[in-house]
Amino acid sequence: MLSANFVIFIAVAYIFLLFILAYFSDRSQKMGKKSFLNSPLVYTLSISVYCTSWTFYGAVGSAARNGLEFLAIYLGPTLVFVGWWFILRKLVRVGREQRITSIADLLSSRFGKSNRLGVLVTLIAVIGTTPYIALQLKAITNSIQVISASGSSSAISGFGDGTLALGIAALMALFTIFFGTRNVDANEQHHGVVAAIAFEAIVKLVAFIAVGIFVVFFVGGGVGNIFAKANEAGIDIYRADSFGPRWIAILFLSAAAILCLPRQFQITVVENSNERHLRTAGWAFPAYLFLMSLFTIPIALYGLTALPEGSNPDMFVLTLPLAEGNTLLALFAFIGGFSSATSMIIIATIALSIMISNHIVMPIALRSSENLGTADGRGVTRLLLTSRRVSIIFVLFLGFLYFWFSGNSDALASMGLIAFAGVAQFLPSMIAALYWREASVNGAIWATFIGFLVWAWTLFLPSFETSSIMVANLISEGPFGLEFLRPQALFGMSNMDPLVHSVFWSVLLNVVTLIVVSLFTKQSSLERIQANMFVDVFSLKKRGQAELVRGSATANDLMFVAQRVLGGKRAYEIFEGFAKQSGVRREELIVTSEFISRLEKELAGTIGAASAHVVLSKVLSGGEVSLEEVMQIADETQQVIEYSQRLEQTTKKLRATAKELKKANESLTQLDKQKDDFLSKVSHEVRTPMTSIRSFSEILLTHDDINDEQRNKFVLTINQESKRLTNLLDEILDLNALEKGERIWVNRLVNGEEILERTINICSPIAMQKNVQLKRGEKASNDNINAEPDRLAQVYINIITNAIKYNDAKNPIITISSMSKAGFYIVDIADNGSGIAKQDTEIIFEKFSRGRRTKGGDDGGLGLGLAISREIIDKMSGSLELIETNNSGACFRVKIPLTKEE
């Protein structure tokens, strides 16, 4: 059997081991080694500070009493980490960008660096965490009692509970002060502490799993066996009632707690050294929780069946190995529980001490002293370290006092969930801080305060029910006999689980207050700027708060402040770094707003955003920068942004216009060329007849000796050529008029077939004259079209005469067929001549082009016919084109839309 002295000796030795571990980790970090300490694994393990002794021992107890309820405490955080990409990633990014030092600092910084909010959050955190620390102390003393009293039932040799708890608290304080406040770090990161916490995470996991394996496989005879035996013993292994509102409330609370508990925020956000570590923690932390809870139910069930009735299920982890005579395993389990208690105490105390010193001590110190620091130049640093050390002792002593006074009452046992519900009051403001731009500082303060009040009234206060008669009366009758204000039955809601009742009212009123007050109050300029910094943390360019502060301080003034807050070395490094960046010597450093904002962030990393803001504002131009000025600067920035956007738009427009102009220019050039071509062609066409007219008339004038026959012939030629000239000019005028739309053009409803027949009749004499056979092909069934009949006939005549003229086949045949298809009236005019070369299919429709030549040379055609025809058909919304057929000859197709019959 183990003596109490031996157990205590082991515990002290364990803490000593932590000291060594933390010391060497700190040292290797200082030497700048890239060790495994910076790995995502250590980060993930340190997050498991979530699993305190309350979960180590208490989960089994809860499983024994309430079935699966304990699982909700693990599943809530699992969901948050599974969704790490959304809330956690943003939280960590904001934390790093803004050098956030605690959850109080986060909310204070987001809501206009408000110190009131910082103080409120700090107080709530202290009130919620102190009983939690007391719970850990109780777990430690209880476990020591259990493991050492099992042999001899005497009290712990020479120690009372109180002395033991005080001793442990003192040791914890020593450790925390030693490694948590060794220096005022730039980012409030404590590598030594984190390493120790990661080590403790492994210890408690291995210890719990060892007990689990021992129970299940060595004494319990397998999982199935344990369940079967428990069922036989009359234990309800199904617990069908487990999943009600309480299950959902606990899921919500634990999900909120993993974000809002000061110690979780400290580890997950503040101690995070690399954002990528979240990537691993996202799945690895749920896996840790999974392993941690895997054996809880079997241990609980086996404990219930194997141990004598009345055994405390909270201590099954220890009593089961003891009952089986395995003291070594029991000792190991004790160390596991001890490590889960100590890790919680250490991190919670560090987090609280930072909050107290940054949000309560610093502001008071700043207010009371106009002149920062004393002559030795290390005032603020010393003040910070001292206040943190004192806060650590204060918090631990408070925890001890709570433990001392609550004694063995039930008040402590339920403290875990009560603390969860307390810090859950930060959640609405925290989510609003990250996602809701309009949330205002008044909204956040009132929401948190009212949520806190409701929580204190409905959950915290009733936890004293058994230790105070006054509280018990209050619960049963309400204050001053006001029944509707009874703590566990607000407004008559009496049939609810007290936890669900409290969470419902506190969170509801919290959220409603946040929304309503935010909507009805105006944000200050600083708030608005900070809101954008937080909400847009992923989309904003890294430009810091360059606009925020502007003043007339010299680099020396700032150096003076920085030395006092950050210490000489760190301040020197910052100034040197910035000077190097801007390419000047440190002595010549000019104070730019960019530099000031960076310095403010560095200061914020040590004393919190609110205090840093106050400190710098004091130095700069002897007071705070007026909000109007800030606003103006912000507006200017906005204007610049808008201006550049406008400029960009204009540039785009200009570019588009230039493109259009270029296009227009190209088409103009082409048109110009076409015009030139047209003119030269016209001149050519006109010149030929003119030349012959001139030469023949000259002959007639100069030669008197021409006989009548010849004279007649000459006059005839002159006559023909003039006719041709007139024709040419007529056609040009016609085409011109068509193109310009000068002629009045009236389409009317006509029968296409009728016009076609008429045309064929007109053309047949010419065809007969030339021995060309005109063949009528298929006929259209529907021929109602909107057209100008004479003009349409002109087109047909043009095409048919062309076909007659150019047909070079031995037995020339022209086939004319018509049809109505797909809403079009279509006329195909095909010949069996040699056809038109493929490359000419478009050219023939141009002015003065001739696709083919007759056998007999020049024929008097002008090459305008098809161009005119196409123009005409266009006016009837139709098309004229040369189509490809299987036959050798050319086939022209006239396509005119059918009109709907009325």
Partner 1 sequence: MSNRRKIENGALALPIFGAILIVPPLLNVFNVEVLIFGAPLIIIYLFSLWILLIIATFFLSRHLPDNPTLEQNNDSFEADDIEGEN
State the nearest-atom distance from the C-beta of 298 to partner 1, in Å: 9
User: How far apart are the C-alpha atoms of 718 and 695, rounded to whole Å?
Assistant: 9
Closest to partner 1 by CB, 637 or 841: 637
Q: Quick check: 342 and 172 in contact, CB under 8 A?
A: yes
User: How far apart are the C-alpha atoms of 59 and 78, rounded to whole Å?
Assistant: 16
Which one of 182-190, 221-229, 319-327, 736-744 is the stretch in contact with partner 1 (CB under 8 A)?
A: 221-229
Q: Quick check: 253 and 420 in contact, CB under 8 A?
A: yes
Which one of 49-57, 212-220, 246-254, 893-901 is the stretch in contact with partner 1 (CB under 8 A)?
A: 246-254
CB hemisphere CA count around 388 (13 angstroms)? 26
- Phi/psi for 526 (5° steps) reads -60, -40
State the nearest-atom distance from the C-beta of 246 to partner 1, in Å: 11
State the nearest-atom distance from the C-beta of 243 to partner 1, in Å: 5
How many residues lie near partner 1 (CB under 8 A)? 45
Closest to partner 1 by CB, 291 or 385: 291
Which one of 244-252, 433-441, 820-828, 858-866 is the stretch in contact with partner 1 (CB under 8 A)?
A: 244-252
Q: Indicate which single residue of 16, 163, 217, 275 sits in contact with partner 1 (rule: CB under 8 A).
A: 275
Q: Indicate which single residue of 178, 227, 560, 678 sits in contact with partner 1 (rule: CB under 8 A).
A: 227
Which one of 121-129, 241-249, 748-756, 840-848 is the stretch in contact with partner 1 (CB under 8 A)?
A: 241-249
State the nearest-atom distance from the C-beta of 507 to partner 1, in Å: 16
Closest to partner 1 by CB, 651 or 771: 651
Measuring CA to CA, which residue among 429, 512, 525, 446 is closest to residue 106? 429
Q: Indicate which single residue of 213, 223, 472, 690 sits in contact with partner 1 (rule: CB under 8 A).
A: 223
State the nearest-atom distance from the C-beta of 92 to partner 1, in Å: 12
User: How far apart are the C-alpha atoms of 587 and 188, rounded to whole Å?
Assistant: 29
How far does the chain reach from its first CA to its final CA, in angstroms? Answer: 113
State the nearest-atom distance from the C-beta of 262 to partner 1, in Å: 24
Question: What's the length of the chain?
Answer: 902
Measuring CA to CA, which residue among 811, 820, 758, 747 is closest to residue 783? 820
Query: Which residues between 516 and 545 bind partner 1 (CB under 8 A)?
Result: 538-542
Tell me: does residue 213 bind partner 1 (CB under 8 A): no
Tell me: does residue 222 bind partner 1 (CB under 8 A): yes
Measuring CA to CA, which residue among 286, 278, 313 is closest to residue 93? 278
Tell me: does residue 810 bind partner 1 (CB under 8 A): no
Q: Indicate which single residue of 174, 235, 248, 493 sits in contact with partner 1 (rule: CB under 8 A).
A: 248
Q: Indicate which single residue of 16, 217, 238, 491 sits in contact with partner 1 (rule: CB under 8 A).
A: 238
Please report which helix (H) or strand (E) contains residue 173, including its range: helix 161-180
Query: Which residues between 297 and 326 bind partner 1 (CB under 8 A)?
Result: 297
Q: Indicate which single residue of 10, 41, 202, 294 sits in contact with partner 1 (rule: CB under 8 A).
A: 294
| C-alpha to C-alpha distances, 509 to 245, 452, 482, 493, 513, nearest whole angstrom | 18, 10, 20, 15, 6
Tell me: does residue 244 bind partner 1 (CB under 8 A): yes
Q: Quick check: 816 and 756 in contact, CB under 8 A?
A: yes
User: How far apart are the C-alpha atoms of 352 and 359, rounded to whole Å?
Assistant: 10
* Amino acid (one-letter) located at 576: E
Based on its alpha-carbon atoms, the radius of gyration of the chain, rounded to whole angstroms, reads 48
Tell me: does residue 641 bind partner 1 (CB under 8 A): no
Which one of 235-243, 256-264, 735-743, 864-872 is the stretch in contact with partner 1 (CB under 8 A)?
A: 235-243
| C-alpha to C-alpha distances, 143 to 240, 319, 731, 832, 860, nearest whole angstrom | 32, 10, 117, 113, 123
Q: Quick check: 894 and 878 in contact, CB under 8 A?
A: yes
In sequence order, which residues have a C-beta less than 8 Å from that of residue 64 and are 6 or more positions away?
300, 301, 303, 304, 313, 316
CA dihedral 636, 638, 644, 647 (to 10 degrees): -90
User: How far apart are the C-alpha atoms of 753 and 757, rounded to whole Å?
Assistant: 6
Closest to partner 1 by CB, 97 or 840: 97
State the nearest-atom distance from the C-beta of 60 to partner 1, in Å: 15
State the nearest-atom distance from the C-beta of 78 to partner 1, in Å: 6
User: How far apart are the C-alpha atoms of 464 and 135, rounded to whole Å?
Assistant: 14
Tokens 């939280």, located at residue: 91
Q: Quick check: 35 and 28 in contact, CB under 8 A?
A: yes
- 10 Å Cβ neighbour count for 740? 8
Q: Indicate which single residue of 30, 33, 580, 652 sits in contact with partner 1 (rule: CB under 8 A).
A: 652
Closest to partner 1 by CB, 250 or 331: 250
Which one of 167-175, 273-281, 723-731, 767-775 is the stretch in contact with partner 1 (CB under 8 A)?
A: 273-281
Which one of 188-196, 278-286, 498-506, 826-834 is the stretch in contact with partner 1 (CB under 8 A)?
A: 278-286
Closest to partner 1 by CB, 295 or 825: 295
- 10 Å Cβ neighbour count for 279? 14
Angle between helices 115-149 and 441-455 (to 10 degrees): 30
Closest to partner 1 by CB, 275 or 642: 275
**Burial profile 80-89: b = 16 or more Cβ within 10 angstroms, e = fewer:** bbeebeebbb
Q: Which two tokens stand for residue 632?
A: 């103006």
Query: Which residues between 333 and 362 bind partner 1 (CB under 8 A)?
Result: none
Tell me: does residue 280 bind partner 1 (CB under 8 A): yes
Closest to partner 1 by CB, 285 or 460: 285
Write out the DSSP string of 236-255: -SS-TTS-SHHHHHHHHHHH
Query: Which residues between 556 and 615 bind partner 1 (CB under 8 A)?
Result: none
Which one of 178-186, 243-251, 486-494, 668-676 is the stretch in contact with partner 1 (CB under 8 A)?
A: 243-251
Closest to partner 1 by CB, 281 or 785: 281
Measuring CA to CA, which residue among 31, 531, 61 is closest to residue 299? 61
Closest to partner 1 by CB, 480 or 538: 538
Tokens 């005549």, located at residue: 797
- 10 Å Cβ neighbour count for 545? 20
Collapsed DSSP state (helix, strand, coil) of residue 147: helix
Q: Which two tokens stand for residue 614?
A: 């106050």
* Amino acid (one-letter) located at 213: I
Tell me: does residue 431 bind partner 1 (CB under 8 A): no
Query: Which residues between 56 and 85 bind partner 1 (CB under 8 A)?
Result: 68, 71, 75, 78-85
State the nearest-atom distance from the C-beta of 658 to partner 1, in Å: 11
Q: Which two tokens stand for residue 566?
A: 């950050």
Q: Indicate which single residue of 157, 225, 374, 554 sits in contact with partner 1 (rule: CB under 8 A).
A: 225
State the nearest-atom distance from the C-beta of 537 to partner 1, in Å: 9
State the nearest-atom distance from the C-beta of 251 to partner 1, in Å: 7
Q: Indicate which single residue of 283, 397, 404, 464 sits in contact with partner 1 (rule: CB under 8 A).
A: 283
Tokens 């109505």, located at residue: 820
Q: Indicate which single residue of 290, 435, 520, 643 sits in contact with partner 1 (rule: CB under 8 A).
A: 290
State the nearest-atom distance from the C-beta of 30 to partner 1, in Å: 28
Which one of 150-158, 237-245, 363-371, 458-466 is the stretch in contact with partner 1 (CB under 8 A)?
A: 237-245
Which one of 128-136, 148-156, 281-289, 457-465 is the stretch in contact with partner 1 (CB under 8 A)?
A: 281-289
Q: Which two tokens stand for residue 554?
A: 């010299």
Question: Would you tell me which residues interact with partner 1 (CB under 8 A)?
Answer: 68, 71, 75, 78-86, 222-225, 227-228, 237-238, 240, 242-244, 247-248, 251, 275-276, 279-280, 282-283, 286-287, 290, 294, 297, 538-542, 652, 655
